[in-house]
A and B are shown apart, each in its own frame.
Chain A
Amino acid sequence: MNVMYFAWVRERIGVPQETVETEAATVNDLIAELKTREDRYAAAFADISALRVALDQELSDFDAPLAGVREVAFFPPMTGG
């Protein structure tokens, strides 16, 4: 699946997006998997309460299932307006 990062999450991980091959069942599972990969992921996902997630361009929850999802995006709380 395509995983995207925005704002300081993007800066901490170092790429705006990447393709991730995963069997993770939920967003939480995906995060746990990414955190074991490299320190930069562990740093970006250290505090989940500071993050938001969108699945296929819709705001979602960290316990949401990933079955059928093509795009996951992680970002800090939005600051529009």
Chain B
Amino acid sequence: MQVRVQSEPFDAGAELNGFAQGRTDIGAVVSFTGVVRDTDGTLQEMLIEHYPGMTTSAITKIVEEAVSRWTLADALVIHRHGPLKPGEPIMMVATAAAHRAAAFAAADFLMDYLKSRAPFWKKEITDQGADWVAAKDEDEDALNRW
């Protein structure tokens, strides 16, 4: 299990290649990479603020919950903070399990919880100005699936 909170970019491909390497008891690896999206072509930068004293421990608790619920062989979460440009990776999760259903479900669970329970806040700096991204009701509702 690995949790990394960092401002530096990461190579999702290299991370995935190194993930759960050497494990012969797993049959499924699932990964998700979140990317800075510029829907309207006006985004200059996305600024991600976080709560350094809480971030790693909050994510670790979420990952521990996923590992125990789905008996994961391994799990990885990388989440960046600081200023990011459109197209840059924000975060990734990877899960490894004996079967694909558990790996998919655990990755989905991790994404839902990271969105609403990990202390990050996104601010979009566009041609028109700067605005904090508001949490969506459906993101909170998504937690009830679990």
- Does more than half of chain B's interface fall in helix, strand or loop, or is it mixed? mixed
A7 and B135 within 8 A (CB): no
Q: Give the shortest distance, in Å, between A48 (CB) and chain B (any CB).
A: 15
Report the bound CA distance from A6 to B121 in whole Å: 8
Report the bound CA distance from A67 to B122 in whole Å: 32
How big is chain B's contact interface, by range?
Answer: 20 to 34
Number of A-B contacts (CB under 8 A): 69
On chain B, the residues within 8 Å of A81 by CB distance are 34, 90-91, 111, 114-115, 118, 120
How big is chain A's contact interface, by range?
Answer: 10 to 19
Stretch with Cβ within 8 A of A (4 or more), from B15-23, B49-57, B64-72, B95-103: B49-57
A residues with CB within 8 A of B: 4, 6-8, 10, 54, 57-59, 71, 73, 75-81
B residues with CB within 8 A of A: 34, 49, 51, 53-54, 57-58, 79, 90-91, 111, 114-123, 132-135, 140
